[in-house]
Structure 1
Amino acid sequence: MTEQNTRLGIILMICATFIFAMQDGLSRHLADTYDVRMVVMVRYWFFAAFVIFMAKHRGGSVRKVASSKVLGLQIFRGVLLVAEICMTIVAFVRLGLVEAHAIFACYPLLIVAFSGPVLGEKVGWKRWSAIAVGFLGVLVILQPGYGVFTPDMLWALIAAVMFAVYGILTRYVARHDRPSTSFFWTGVSGAIAMTAVGIWYWEPMSTFDWFLMATLCVSAASGHYILIKVYDVAEASAVQPFAYLQLPFASSIGVLVFHDTLRINVVVGAIIVVSAGLFTFFRERKKKLAAA
């Protein structure tokens, strides 16, 4: 991998994280007015159309891309992700972007923790120590026992666990299917599941909110497309730490647009969680380079 490709991958990753942060802001605004299930349903209609388009133009045919050796698991992944997105948006509305993202930032540590028993990967004491430190940061954010903890925080915490399970399953199905197949079923199975639930919560939207919804759909598709390009031009271990920039990007939107409160314990806890997560990334990258 050339230095130029790594630099391009970092630039694209920063762009993708900024787009996803904007997407979170749009999701929160729409969910303040409309039912979360309807908002996610419409977003997934566009997402499904996007993955089908990608299957036709980059995969050769929809049938070829849709062919899976672990179809049941692929469908479960897609349904799990769309449920996680609903929970995350609820957390945005109830907690604000700052606190929801600060708690959600622990998901890479959960993936590392789950990778041992589920995937059979070796997790050494240094990474287990980083996981422990990361969850200490989560406790700093939650402040249990000090009157600050609210049940609403569980929305973000459960969403982080769900996304970590989704990440582990994604790594597992990668042993059997191509990335294009996983991407296809993520969009299609999620759209079908969300339509079955969200259609019952349909309500009229204003013209301006339809514009925002269209912007949300385009940003989601473009963000995923840029993310695909990121991993086309650079190694995942080299660019993945920059995904944490979504936390300050989304927090800035929360403070400036939605007037979220920036509590000191949330800032300190988020720094601890992100630092622990970065350590696990760099530790994994060092091990891969040593093995190579």
Structure 2
Amino acid sequence: MQAAPSGREASYTSGVVLMCAGVACLSANDAVAKALTSHYPPLQILFLRNVVALPFTVLIAITMGGWQALKTYRPAAHLLRGALWVCATMMFFTSFIYLGLAEATALIFVAPFFITVISALFLGEKVHIWRWLAVLFGFLGVLVVIRPGGATFQAASLLPVATALVYALLMLSARWVDARESVWTLLVYLTGTAALISVFIVPFVWVPVRLEDLWLFAAIAVFGTAGMTMMTQAFRLTPAVIVAPLDYTALVWATLFGWLIWRESPDAATFLGAAIIIASGVFTIFRQKGKAA
């Protein structure tokens, strides 16, 4: 008789399932956002997504962390993070107007390399030669995808790269949040501050919402909130070295959604560049795990 899985094995399995489901939801979120960009400005999409998602995010935070999850000790840090989130999302959604879903998704995977560079140059962290080689390898993958100077180069390809840079700053800014605050607190304030910041700008770009698009705005809020919640829980249940590489399955979903909805077919260079970026990212994750062991 086969032995029942241990508590740790069950936890790891749950984490893997949650991570895969969360990545799929966020990929669906991106696909819906790309569909909406044909009728609405990215800022309006971001604003409505956060306004609709905020009540659900608060409910999840209270359920998972209690009322304490709504308390913050450093509101200024959350305001900064909200501003970074607005900038990153705006650029990423704007890139959907010009790029295929898979291409934009592949390029945003360079965020871990920006984190490495910023940590070394500005935060005084020691980065060993192997991580620098991984950064250079990942940058090579970016060049393969965007092909600067080539006939197929688009300036819009720089938008996901810029998004990755701002996203890296967002991840590093979590260090400025009070250690007493949970990941659920971060989730609530990230959604809330992004809605607060965008509400002052969105009236200048507002486009009347069509009745037939209401379900799409609801969908982007549901997929985005569900994805972030499941991925957060996955990292709580399972070591990052196991679940973090699963984030790259987003490229599979992006390729699938892009083909099914827009008949997008990424070329060989995009797949090659994405493979290089993913390989260097996975190497960085396992190298970091080896140092921590």
CA contact (8 A) 1:66 1:184 kept: no
The answer to whether residue 153 in structure 2 is matched with residue 128 in structure 1 is no
User: Is 2:48 the partner of 1:67?
Assistant: no
In structure 2, stretches of 5+ residues that fail to align are 1-6
- TM superposition score normalised by structure 2: 0.91
Aligned residue for 1:9? 15
The reply to whether residue 46 of structure 1 matches residue 25 of structure 2 is: no
Separation in 1 of the partners of 2:178 and 2:259?
A: 38
Overall identity of the aligned pairs, in %: 26
Of 192, 217, 232 in structure 2, the residue corresponding to residue 188 of structure 1 is 192
Aligned partners of 2:261 and 2:233: how far apart in 1?
30
* Structure 1 gap segments, 5+ residues each: none
Q: Deviations over 1:212-253 (max 9, x none)?
A: 111111111111221222123112232111011111211221
1:84 aligns with 2:114: no
1:283 equivalent in structure 2: 287
Deviation at 1:171, TM superposition (A): 4.0
1:95-134: CA deviation from partner (whole Å, max 9, x where unpaired): 1202111211111221122222344432110011000010
Q: Match of 1:33, SS?
A: coil
User: Which range moves more in the overlay, 103-112 or 194-203?
Assistant: 194-203
Which stretch of structure 1 is more off in the superposition, 182-191 or 134-143?
A: 182-191
Match of 1:30 in 2: 36
The SS at the match of 1:32 is: coil
Distance 1:174 1:111, change over 3 A: farther
Of 101, 105, 108, the residue aligned with 2:105 is 101
The answer to whether the 8 Å contact 2:183/2:232 transfers is no
CA contact (8 A) 1:84 1:162 kept: yes
Residue of structure 2 aligned with 1:261, choices 242, 265, 282: 265
Aligned to 2:66, the other structure's residue is in SS state coil
- Which one of 210, 214, 220 corresponds to residue 206 of structure 1? 210
* 2:158 aligned residue (135, 138, 154): 154
Mapped partners of 1:161, 1:277: distance in 2: 15
8 Å CA contact 1:31–1:93 kept in 2: the answer is yes
Distance 1:174 1:284 in 2: 24
Count of residue correspondences: 287
Secondary structure at the aligned position of 1:2 is classed as: helix
The 1:118–1:4 alpha-carbon spacing in structure 2 relative to 1, beyond 3 Å, is farther
CA RMSD in angstroms, aligned pairs only:
1.9
Q: 1:26 and 1:241 mapped to 2: Cα distance?
A: 24
2:44 maps to a residue whose letter is: M
- Structure 1 residue 58: Cα displacement: 3.8
Hey, what's the Cα distance between the residues in 2 that align with 1:227 and 1:146? Answer: 37
Question: Could you tell me how far apart the structure 2 residues matched to 1:79 and 1:145 are?
Answer: 33
Stretch of structure 1 that moved more, 127-136 or 46-55: 46-55
Specify the alignment match of 1:273 in structure 2: 277
Tell me the residue number matched to 2:3.
none
Contact 1:43 1:217 in 2 (8 A): yes
Instruction: Tell me, yes or no, if the aligned pair for 1:55 and 1:65 is still in contact at 8 Å.
Output: yes
Bigger shift: residues 15-24 or 43-52: 43-52
Moved over 6 A (4+): none
